[in-house]
Structure 1
């Protein structure tokens, strides 16, 4: 009769060389395999022998009966790739760090598997759980807060989107923006490409960039773009107020890549561009929420002084909860239809008389519902009466009392950190008691105010997706002026953002959750 211990060994180790038949198997339900990669042959042999002496089944060759794979200094992705290359593997086999093995040796039995023992926890998740991310196709259906769990990925895609937009390849730019928006809406960080299966708006190009970053920590394409002379020249030149990508491209073809080269080139600049170049450093410095609030108090005083009862709302990123921005946007209306007519010129005159405006350009309201109808180009947000301005904002007192040299050094340092590739102008004293800030003022009739508020709150992609949803899913035309039902041939009125969402068949999303 075969002894009990020999019988167990025979049944457990069939077809596996290297098993010491003299060692008793105490834990038949546990079958171990030590991965030699990075562990080394001699250390693996020693640990295997130690395990068998303690009563563990330790296989020399990997097979489908293995329940625990023991690794040392291996990443989970590395081990998973190795497992996939094997002819057979047991589904759900534990991938464990060497620490579980050594603790089990000390205990003389298999210890409980804790999270710290598992090799990259995400690899232990079942396939059904891996595809945990599920988001709607349209950004206007998703709630996107400022809490972004995938910043490295979204920043990379946003940079490629910006480069495409600067090159006037809007289609590619939108594709990257949509991909970034999907990642912003995810509830946790992406750690594996398998988690992205089935998600909308992730094209092959975006997936290649994401894969590159997940596997290598960075994207060659993104780094190449970030360091390219053309991209940086476009960034610097379009950073001038009043300069678009077409003008910047023309200047680059003329050999102009920096602000100093532009100053020395003799190029003719319009009034907006002259002001933009003069106040370049200030305009490209982020505006804080505190500064926006101060400007808001001044604008409100101007508005109320010339039209009592008028209402003013801070819009844009600040309404979505952002703490900094590139400019400050205000939407102005009056609860009595028609009272807002002529308001802008009076507000601008008041601000100019008080010395608050360094530059301003006002455009009239050119939208007439009866003549223009519902069809609005997607790129043309609105045609309200607007004032594009550069505001002269007094600095905080404590800043002005500092040593001028210290202020200058701190200012230059902060600006360099913000954009190390930008070509700063040093021809304006940085110890002035004020700074220049971009401010847009928009006047809307109360009948269009809800649409204007929705349009001017953003984000830009969220608004684009709202218009796309309206057209593709509801056969409607949406703009910052109105909503038109193309099937019924009539306008749909709304006195609040909630009503607009209801007309569109969408669940209402708060401004703080529109950060697509």
Structure 2
């Protein structure tokens, strides 16, 4: 799914997290260096959960997961409010194009590299060459702007109510649990990870045909009620949903009636991205 900046709310180190996340995406998408990607992501996560503002690189180094190189970047940012490495990355058109294209759901580093080699550098370029995209990527492009937005907790709660209502009409034994950042108490989420369990699906007795049948019934039910609007993939289900209700966050610039990224995940573990 689309990449998002670190949430400012409740995070005194959000600006550090933002540049570390951007460096992580660069290492993954452009250099394909997963080790560096993980290092930057871990540092960002550590700073995001630190309760107070980090005032120097030396202070940052005392936190687990932050070493000498990252602490120097924090010092550079504190002194100049920018990073030379990121300035250089931004000035390189190829790097910028790859980072932009990988923000589209379904487009990974390899696909982005191949698109750039064909001269497709921007989202607008991509819209002119949808013949080169898979179904998943076309849907990701269609809802690109919506997928970039965070989903307010209040909206996730409304979606959870809809899922519970519809699934209990199918079978009252279904249990719905929203996981991920929502379960951790965050005010916003990038997508909606939904765990759906049923007594007939246990680790010692999993009938694949039965499971697939249940999945199809669930998807069909949520499509009929209007929640699911697009399917990106089955098996490890991914799709998009839309909640047609008035929403208190609308005045904050949030499009309530735009589609939201929904993902439904396998073994009745679904991931919803609202569009």
Give the TM-score taking structure 2 as reference length.
0.78
Partner of 1:358: 229
Does residue 1:390 correspond to 2:261, yes or no? no
Does residue 1:224 correspond to 2:66, yes or no? no
Answer with 267-276 or 252-261: which moved more. 267-276
Residues 196, 330 of structure 1: alpha-carbon distance in 2 compared, 3 angstrom cutoff: closer
Partner of 1:190: 54
Residues 188, 294 of structure 1: alpha-carbon distance in 2 compared, 3 angstrom cutoff: closer
Alpha-carbon offset, residue 398 of structure 1? 8.9
* Structure ranking higher on relative contact order (CA contacts 8 Å, 6+ apart): 2
Conserved 8 A contact 2:25-2:99: no
Higher helix fraction: Structure 1 or Structure 2? 2
- After TM superposition, the structure 1 = structure 2 runs for residues 256-335 of structure 1, keeping only pairs within 5 Å, are 256-265=120-129, 267-335=131-199
Structure-2 separation of matches of 1:155 and 1:399: 23
The partner residue of 1:177 within 36, 41, 44 is 41
Partner of 1:380: none
Does residue 1:347 correspond to 2:210, yes or no? no
Alpha-carbon offset, residue 231 of structure 1? 4.1
Give the TM-score taking structure 1 as reference length.
0.44
Conserved 8 A contact 2:56-2:74: no
Structure-2 separation of matches of 1:361 and 1:222: 33
Conserved 8 A contact 1:160-1:225: no
SS across alignment from 1:188: coil
- After TM superposition, the structure 1 = structure 2 runs for residues 325-474 of structure 1, keeping only pairs within 5 Å, are 325-338=189-202, 341=211, 342-361=213-232, 363-364=234-235, 386-396=236-246, 434-442=257-265, 444=267
Residues 177, 287 of structure 1: alpha-carbon distance in 2 compared, 3 angstrom cutoff: same
Does residue 1:251 correspond to 2:74, yes or no? no
Does residue 1:161 correspond to 2:55, yes or no? no
SS across alignment from 2:149: coil
Equivalent pairs, count:
255
Which is greater in Rg?
Answer: 1
Residues 245, 195 of structure 1: alpha-carbon distance in 2 compared, 3 angstrom cutoff: same
Residues 229, 321 of structure 1: alpha-carbon distance in 2 compared, 3 angstrom cutoff: farther
* CA RMSD across the alignment: 3.2
- Which structure 1 residue ranges, 5 or more long, are not aligned? 1-145, 365-385, 401-406, 415-429, 446-451, 457-516
Alpha-carbon offset, residue 355 of structure 1? 3.3
Residues 219, 434 of structure 1: alpha-carbon distance in 2 compared, 3 angstrom cutoff: same
Structure-2 separation of matches of 1:248 and 1:395: 36
Does residue 1:203 correspond to 2:67, yes or no? yes
